[in-house]
Amino acid sequence: MIIVIKIILFILIVIIIRMIFNYVSEAEYKKIYNMKELIKFTEHLQIFSCEMKMQINEIIDKYLFKDSNIQKVCKELNSYINLSKNNDLTRDKFMNYIKEQLLTPDEFNKIFIQIVDFYGYSASEVLSKKLAYIQTEMLKYVNEFQIQAKERKDFFNKISILIGVLLAILLI
Query: What values do phi and psi take at 55, rounded to 5?
Result: -80, 155
d(CA 88, CA 86): 7
**What's the mean pLDDT when you consider all of the chain?**
84
Query: What values do phi and psi take at 123, rounded to 5?
Result: -70, 160
End-to-end CA distance of the chain: 14
Rank 11-20, 41-50, 86-95 by mean pLDDT and report only the highest: 41-50
The half-sphere exposure of 155 on its side-chain side, counting CA atoms within 13 A, is 7
* Per-residue pLDDT at 70: 92
d(CA 79, CA 104): 20
Question: Using one digit for the tens of pLDDT, what is the confidence trace for 55-80?
Answer: 888 888 888 999 899 999 998 888 88
Question: Using one digit for the tens of pLDDT, what is the confidence trace for 135-152?
Answer: 999 999 999 999 999 998
Q: Which of 52, 95, 65 is nearest to 77 (CA)?
A: 95
d(CA 30, CA 103): 9
Domain ranges of the chain: 2-171
d(CA 2, CA 7): 9
